[in-house]
Structure 1
């Protein structure tokens, strides 16, 4: 869950917000944990998880680094990540842009679906980079639902539904923008990492093809129903049709494209 913004597009008080965050984790955790493991996360590492949401990556890190390691998980609203039962995992309410972070303290710093929502993204990247120890890794993940990415997503919806998907994602793009978020920040992550003075920059896309009935996108559309309709780019009947479509068992589609980018702090 994002830090340090009062214009977060999602309603933190929504009664199904925990369910939505857990559904996001179920879709994107496999790609995230594969990349973190590939960077060498191991016993004894000290890690920082920013915007910990429902806590799945924080728990994975804690189990991976073991009793000799330590994980600090921060969020403006950390309630869904609490009660984890792990002695090496601390969950803390903290504002990324306002509260202090220890300098050069972590072997790994990770943030997913956070920076795209922040009002000062460049400063946030610099702060996160400064928290990484020399030789350590910063891994950032954000969505790309802007411009050509919308057309890419629509191509992987069922035949005859490409126009519906494109209208839906244009509406999502606009809703994020009106809330002060950057719907295309994912594709800007590699340059942001390089601009913060980091090296060995790499990136890849996560665009999983999901079976109908996967709850993540349906919950997202229900949460954002009012801002989606307010933009006038998608009609109520179209939104209802999209939600019905992605719950059908015979359907496959691509949800939001996630960009995973990583870089090392120089020795």
Structure 2
């Protein structure tokens, strides 16, 4: 079994209890708030969330956006989101299985593409970012939230599918600039506090980096 397939199996296995984690819920609230504060959201915006999981961020932004395509590779995560979407009457959220490392680009183009805590699970990040740029309309925004560079303490040694121990903000911003995005900016969206195996407090900042396609 490859690291990627083990990671997919893990996400599918955890889907039913994913939303029960206060840590994950806190990250989602902070990322959604940071996106809403950083970007001019409005209800005519067509949005794509890539790596949506159970849709924690999409649901929080649903009242501020138009149609949202919530995409992920984990079928069970999408099934949980589909149940939440139906229960809440969020008819403008569409769940979709989509792997932009393998699949063709969707035919739609979006005013906003956002992703939260997904990039560190992607082997070839520059290629994915290029594909996310390619589904933006002119003037559309890309918003990326993930971990600052860290030493592996956030996930620990036994979690599969971790290709990157966070990212250097400047390097990621340079990648977006190289892809032709402008108004590239970064901020700290959230800081996760966890304890080390020895009980020592650890702090893991999560950034939000945004850029606009001219």
TM range (shorter): 0.7 to 0.9
SS at match of 1:25: helix
Say whether the 8 Å CA contact 2:58–2:70 is kept in structure 1: yes
State the TM-score, normalized to the length of structure 1: 0.65
CA drift at 1:145: 4.1
Give the 3 Å change call, closer, same or farther, for CA 198–175 of structure 1 in structure 2.
farther
The CA distance in 1 between the partners of 2:9 and 2:209, in whole Å, is 24
Structure 1 gaps of 5+ residues are 148-167, 211-216, 219-237, 246-252
* 1:171-210 residue CA offsets vs partner (Å, 9 max, x unmatched): 83x667x845111325232122112111110001234375
Specify which structure has the higher proportion of strand.
Answer: 2
The CA distance in 1 between the partners of 2:192 and 2:73, in whole Å, is 31
State the TM-score, normalized to the length of structure 2: 0.79
CA-atom RMSD, angstroms? 3.1
- After TM superposition, the structure 1 stretch with the greater mean CA deviation from structure 2, 102-111 or 10-19, is 10-19
SS at match of 1:5: helix
Say whether the 8 Å CA contact 2:19–2:25 is kept in structure 1: no
- The correspondence of residues 3-42 of structure 1 with structure 2, limited to 5 A, is 5-6=4-5, 8=7, 11-12=10-11, 13-14=13-14, 17-19=17-19, 23-42=23-42
Name the count of aligned residue pairs: 203
Kindly report structure 1 stretches of 4+ aligned residues shifted beyond 6 Å. none
The CA distance in 1 between the partners of 2:101 and 2:192, in whole Å, is 35
1:94 and 2:98 aligned: yes
Give the 3 Å change call, closer, same or farther, for CA 53–40 of structure 1 in structure 2.
same
The CA distance in 2 between the partners of 1:116 and 1:50, in whole Å, is 13
Q: Which residue of 2 aligns with 1:55?
A: 55
1:143 and 2:147 aligned: yes
CA drift at 1:6: 2.8
Structure 2 gaps of 5+ residues are none
* 1:138-177 residue CA offsets vs partner (Å, 9 max, x unmatched): 0011112426xxxxxxxxxxxxxxxxxxxx82983x667x
Say whether the 8 Å CA contact 1:105–1:132 is kept in structure 2: yes
1:71 and 2:55 aligned: no
Say whether the 8 Å CA contact 1:140–1:189 is kept in structure 2: no
